[in-house]
Amino acid sequence: MHIPRRIRLDKNIITIQPGEFHVSAEDELIGTLLGSCVSVCLHDPVRRISGMNHFMLPGRIVGADMFMDQSARYGIRAINDLLALVEKMGAMRRDLIAKIFGGGHVILTTFESNTIPFDNIRLARTMLELEDIPIVEMDVGGSHARKILMEVSTGAVFLKYIVRSENIEVIDDTDENEPCDAHRIAVNI
């Protein structure tokens, strides 16, 4: 976790990476950069407690796997851990509101089978609905990355789109001498 101080805002910014989460009741900001990953932001406006996670993959929704996985990079675990920590800090579940961000299709491929962004969004919505936590804001999908900053005391989330560069080069990662499936991936240059 990286903690720079924004002089203009006179607040610490806690930057979380994939697989991390942060919960606070301090007057600070929590931020992250999202591509196909998703962040769930929870806020208790009565007690002014907020939390954010950043998960990469939905995880398997199978009884044995659902609670066994120890990595917050999977959505099921990341959302459960975030909920547990905001409640441990004093937030009341009945007062929680949620915001969901991310799930962009930021990697261009020549095949359409990448459902990870969609699955991440669907998992976040489903879990919050099952927990009866209202989703008051969502900015998901699309083809762009997002930078988000959440103000802990108010729960406000500031969003900046990171638009894909027009300079895209298609890379063919196949070697004519290797017997493998051909994948063509477009990357920004």
Of the candidates 47, 2, 42, 44, which has an alpha carbon nearest to the alpha carbon of residue 20? 2
Q: Please give the model's pTM, rounded to 2 decimal places.
A: 0.77
What pLDDT, on a 0 to 100 scale, did the predictor assign at position 172?
Answer: 44
pLDDT of residue 56: 86
Work out how many domains the chain is built from and give that number: 1
Residue 178 has pLDDT above 80, yes or no: no
Tens digits of residue pLDDT in 24-42: 999 999 999 999 899 999 9
Cα–Cα distance, 76 to 88 (Å, whole number): 18
The CATH number assigned to the domain holding 53 equals 3.30.1330.200
Please report the pLDDT score of residue 4 as a whole number: 54
The pLDDT assigned to 113 comes to 57
Residue 129 φ then ψ, to 5°: -65, -40
For the residues 50-68, what does the mean pLDDT come to? 71
Q: Which domain holds residue 48?
A: 5-188
- Are the CB atoms for 134 and 97 separated by under 8 Å? yes
Q: pLDDT of 118-132, one tens digit each?
A: 999 999 999 999 999
Write the CA distances from 4 to 11, 23, 27, 32, 48, integer angstroms.
9, 17, 14, 13, 22
Q: Are 185 and 108 in contact (CB under 8 A)?
A: yes
**3-state SS, residue 95:** helix
Is the model's pLDDT at 143 over the cut of 50? yes
d(CA 94, CA 42): 12
* Per-residue pLDDT, 61: 53
- Taking the C-alpha atoms of residue 30 and residue 151, their distance in angstroms, rounded to an integer, is 7
pLDDT-wise least confident of 15-19, 81-85, 109-113: 109-113
Residue 189 scores a pLDDT above 90: no
Question: pLDDT (tens digit, 9 = 90+) per residue, 146-176?
Answer: 999 999 999 999 999 987 664 444 444 444 4
- Between residues 176 and 187, the one the model is more confident about: 176
Higher pLDDT: 59 or 11? It is 11
Residue 52: pLDDT band (50, 70, 90) is very high
Angle at 74 between CA 93 and CA 58, to 5 degrees: 90
